Structure 1
């Protein structure tokens, strides 16, 4: 593979972390990126993407990110069965572990489907970070549920991306812990400053109602289309890639503006010039367990938020009256109108103050700290159990 081992800096004291991911590193900046950039402050982090298939010999493409994460993309010879392709990837990863001199490492899994590529690994601790119920997403492979059961048997810890997901997984693993979406408050609070408007939305009239994120089967096309039809004076700014749905199915109109994918760094620039931020998720299998990262991000930006009744938005944000919850197009339209009317009033300021107080307890730094503590505790417990087993054998 010709992967040269990089000298381990003194500050990287914790065991290396091998991450089996279903999302490209340079896709939407979300939970995996937030957590792994923090992990890389004290560990060597190898972020293993899903493979690319082509007419070439098997190899790992390697890229070093400025944050310290090593991104690995397996390039696998095309024409093999899925099982053989995963076996080939597993061989590449075993070579990686050997060539990098990883005598002790932890395994972090996002997608159970790729569990076979970990064959032959001997991690200190195995973590399943279940950020979504992937088996309920459009196009999910049928093997996913069976492999999740296998992962539950191997995992020492299960972290969930929200409380609704935790309720489902705690029945299946004793080491389940809820870690709902967190936020970098300072990053999004920049939207409250006098930031220059983004060029591609600067010419749009107000009011502007915005959304950013992946536009897929979770996005309520009918809701947004009907709102835009009813309220031609409202401008709908929609940021993000269109995935797994036909772009031709998206509603169109003079007040609907699809501006494409934006970087994480650009988001405050757009939020600074929105009047309402939207969570227009459909209520379906794919959204039953989601915990949208953008909920606290919108609030940190100081923008009023309107959401459909997604469980992990209702609890706690709806119950604390930090986000308006609306079910159906009539209620959603009314909630947006109320949010627009409240923007520059004492009631709006009071709502923002309550949201700020709630966000003061959230940070990705704290989330990673808490996760790390659980990992070290699990490692210590395993070591203690192995020591006792060794004494018993003697």
Structure 2
């Protein structure tokens, strides 16, 4: 890891100018409009300074030829979705995405560029291109997720070799990867405290689909997939039939029919980022029933500080980064089975929240997505500055394969 503070880096204007105005080409396994989380927080801030092209994974439709579906998400940010015909071979899919990428980047002819990877799989159609700075923002251990492609680990190793700077989305992930790169930095989930602070407002109204649910309420929001402990939810709900359990978020990679069903379990579905504080503010306790398996070994849930900013105490299973960052200081209470969840939740509902909220606010005052972005931006600029005179070369000489 490089020496020197991020603040010092940010204040070095000569370093910061090394990436001024360069287009940011982001390759993501997550869709922009799916769940608003780390990529959206960081890339929307990049878009205030740089053109940003956010390239999603392909979709398949009855089209005659591959096309790139482009749409705007505010000033400076474009979302691109490769639309491919059905029936393409794997090599055909890679070739089509490569041609679509080349055509899109041709519009930036003469400019440098930053490649920002969330998924190493994008190397399959982008490795032939040079970038002035290559960033790998490793927010999750994708190889541990259900349905991970077998070539993912090898591609990640290749991306580690190509990257000029690497970020991880949590401490556990950093500890697992820190020996694989000499310029790697940990940036755990941050918080838009003002946004989620709306959940504390006295005049806040419950959304219509929550307003009629009995209290007390325990709530979860986020993606519901193989990381979610359905058995634990079922057991807690059975133990407390007079409590309401509000589950907000899309269901992916698991059969909705396998979700536990009970009169007091309410599957609300996906809701917008803008509406989340209104839901959370109507909960008595935040509930994070993560399964403890390979897919959760390295996660650092963004929702943890978001619950706290909304003024809602949290009970969670023993996810490593939650325990390390929030459990040891008592911001989040840890429980391992249904009985302990019930006991902890009951005590959280009975506690005096005044002193607890003061402690929460002191902790959250030290982090924000704005400050996290500023530090990350400084590291990207420093990585570019460390590359010497490469950025001053004519663009035509920088189109060689990046090896």
- TM-score normalised per structure 2: 0.90
Does the 8 Å CA contact 2:132/2:390 hold for their aligned counterparts? Answer: no
2:13 equivalent in structure 1: none
Does the 8 Å CA contact 1:86/1:117 hold for their aligned counterparts? Answer: yes
**Deviation at 1:384?**
5.0
1:314 equivalent in structure 2: 323
Question: Which whole-Å CA distance do the structure 2 matches of 1:84 and 1:169 have between them?
Answer: 33
**Deviation at 1:233?**
0.9
Does the 8 Å CA contact 1:59/1:74 hold for their aligned counterparts? Answer: yes
1:6 equivalent in structure 2: none
Gaps of 5+ in 2: 1-18, 393-403
**Deviation at 1:352?**
1.4
1:296 equivalent in structure 2: 305
SS in 2 for 1:166: helix
**Deviation at 1:102?**
5.5
1:264 equivalent in structure 2: 273
Question: Which whole-Å CA distance do the structure 2 matches of 1:111 and 1:384 have between them?
Answer: 29
Does the 8 Å CA contact 1:13/1:43 hold for their aligned counterparts? Answer: yes
**Deviation at 1:308?**
0.5
Does the 8 Å CA contact 2:206/2:279 hold for their aligned counterparts? Answer: yes
Q: 95-104 vs 227-236, which deviates more?
A: 95-104
Question: Which residue, 88, 105, 108 being the options, matches 1:100?
Answer: 108
Deviation readout 1:264-295 (Å, 9 max, x if unpaired): 00001111111001111010010000000000
Does the 8 Å CA contact 2:132/2:391 hold for their aligned counterparts? Answer: no
Against the structure 1 CA distance between its residues 252 and 102, is the aligned structure 2 distance closer, same or farther, given a 3 Å change threshold?
Answer: farther
1:4 equivalent in structure 2: none
1:168 equivalent in structure 2: 176
SS in 2 for 1:79: coil
Deviation readout 1:57-85 (Å, 9 max, x if unpaired): 11111001125310000112332222331
**Deviation at 1:95?**
1.4
Q: What stretches of structure 1 move > 3 A for 4+ residues in a row? A: 384-387
Question: Which whole-Å CA distance do the structure 2 matches of 1:67 and 1:221 have between them?
Answer: 40
Listed as ranges, the matches of 1:220-231 within 5 Å are: 220-231=229-240
**Deviation at 1:55?**
3.3
Does the 8 Å CA contact 2:137/2:167 hold for their aligned counterparts? Answer: yes
Question: Which residue, 377, 380, 387 being the options, matches 2:382?
Answer: 377
Question: Which whole-Å CA distance do the structure 1 matches of 2:44 and 2:281 have between them?
Answer: 26
Question: Which whole-Å CA distance do the structure 1 matches of 2:276 and 2:112 have between them?
Answer: 38
Question: Which residue, 168, 174, 188 being the options, matches 2:196?
Answer: 188
Question: Which whole-Å CA distance do the structure 2 matches of 1:151 and 1:159 have between them?
Answer: 12
Against the structure 1 CA distance between its residues 335 and 37, is the aligned structure 2 distance closer, same or farther, given a 3 Å change threshold?
Answer: same
Does the 8 Å CA contact 1:184/1:363 hold for their aligned counterparts? Answer: yes
Question: Which residue, 81, 87, 112 being the options, matches 2:95?
Answer: 87
Against the structure 1 CA distance between its residues 383 and 40, is the aligned structure 2 distance closer, same or farther, given a 3 Å change threshold?
Answer: same
2:36 equivalent in structure 1: 29
Question: Which whole-Å CA distance do the structure 2 matches of 1:86 and 1:335 have between them?
Answer: 50
Please say if 1:44 is aligned against 2:51: yes
Does the 8 Å CA contact 1:16/1:102 hold for their aligned counterparts? Answer: no
Does the 8 Å CA contact 2:137/2:166 hold for their aligned counterparts? Answer: yes
SS in 1 for 2:262: coil
Please say if 1:65 is aligned against 2:65: no
Question: Which residue, 131, 134, 137 being the options, matches 1:126?
Answer: 134
Question: Which residue, 123, 138, 144 being the options, matches 2:146?
Answer: 138
Quote the RMSD (CA, aligned, Å): 1.5
Residues matched between the structures, number: 372
**Deviation at 1:385?**
7.9
SS in 2 for 1:170: helix
